[in-house]
Structure 1
Amino acid sequence: MIHSTAIIHPTAIIGENVTIGPFSIIEENVKIGNGCKIESHVLIGSHTTIGEENHIFQGAIIGSFPIDRTHKGQETYLSIGNNNIVREYTTISKGTVKGGGMTRIGDDNWIMSIVHIGHDVVIGNQSTITGNVQIAGHVEIEDNVTIGGSATIHQFCKIGRFSMIGAASFINLDIVPYSIASGYRAKICGINLVGLKRNGMTNDDIKTIKRINTLLFRKKLPLAQAIEEIHNLPQSMFKEHTLAFLNKSERGIARMRGSK
């Protein structure tokens, strides 16, 4: 059902069984997939593609121009996958030309109220981003990440899969996969044990992740030596993913609390 007060540009493509609430605005070249529910007073900006079965709550602004001084109105994009929940007053910016032109959000994410997701951000699948989180441009968030309320993430940071960020933390370095991090200029507190168990990791899986964590942080090795030691561990998806994450880190990784 599309409310009579909604404003929909004639170039927008609306799927089947889509609900659009009062006073919402759908701009040009928007695509909204089947089964989506758009509540009242939502703005879906131009060149935004939204998959199926998403629920976007009141007052959200999805696909706004990037908050970037170099952006001069060029055509850029936002892509959102399937089965995401976006709560009230969240803002999600499109990409910038210098950042590749695209902001991407995957599937099955739960994005709570008053979250800001900046330009050129890439978010994977099945993550929870709680209220008032502020994510700057060019951030990469892998799958199954939990970010506590009012956390702030510096531009160009990367947050590894199955990690958890404590409430009100400031992230200014990359957070390695499977970790808990918290605090101002956040430090690693250990592995995300509860999150790993909830997501079906076996005891052997967790032992492997602990060994990687020990080499990275608890032995206080130089990073290059820690990476060499991780290379020598038995083959596992956790080893390979951690090494790939470390290889693409540009800002450097957050270290363990108590270390320099």
Structure 2
Amino acid sequence: MSNPALGRIIMVIPTYDEALNLEWIVGRLRTAQPDVDVMIVDDNSPDGTGDIADRLAAADPQIRVVHRTEKAGLGAAYLHGFKEALAAGYDVIGEMDADGSHQPEQLHLLLTALEHADLVIGSRWVPGGSVVNWPKSREFLSRGGNLYVRILLGSRVRDATAGFRLFRSGTLEKIDLGSVESAGYVFQADLAWRTQQAGLTITEVPIEFIERVRGDSKMSGDVATESIKRITRWGLHERRSQVRRTLDRWRGR
């Protein structure tokens, strides 16, 4: 369905072993935003998540399901969903977790902000944002990781790793999804960085992020390592590019 100001909107929800959460979070989303469609992208979950998704879609024409054959990472699932949504002609394509950490009842904040932006991020680390049920150690890691992104890439985004966001379809078309290689959580920083590099408008709105209470987190040491390596590589490349641009300007005087 459509929003008069924004057009057709769909939220992409990637899943892997979210049988305990999927029906609950999709129900909340459909209640909070009845005009927003839902796409569930399941990576062949062994716990039956895909079957639950099919049942939800059979009962609600605004829910669609994409079944993937393997667990290939968060970024790969989102890219698949984004391409499907673009092909279906959606004007706004959003993303959110299936575990309840992103509250559908706050989606209206992002929708309102998107009227004047190309990408809106629901942020934990702007004034008014918060996290619930996180130990201080995890908050330190998240804040530190985002600071690292800002320093190394020159990013203006305070919560580049956040996964509650809305893209205009034109934004996704401009940032060349076909060249995105990041598969894990670094995917979020990657797309925010590409949006900034394209000269598009990014707005962060404060949200309350709630740590999952059911099921297991998908974050792992390997995922964190991939993120650090890729961000470091991008940052060093950007710094070299900045030096070359400065030298070129100096030589041209």
TM over 0.5, shorter chain: no
Greater share of residues in helix: 2
In terms of fraction of residues, the more strand-rich structure is: 1
- Scaled by the length of structure 2, the TM-score of the pair is 0.28
TM-score computed with the length of structure 1 as normaliser: 0.28
Which structure carries more relative contact order (alpha carbon 8 Å, separation 6+)?
2
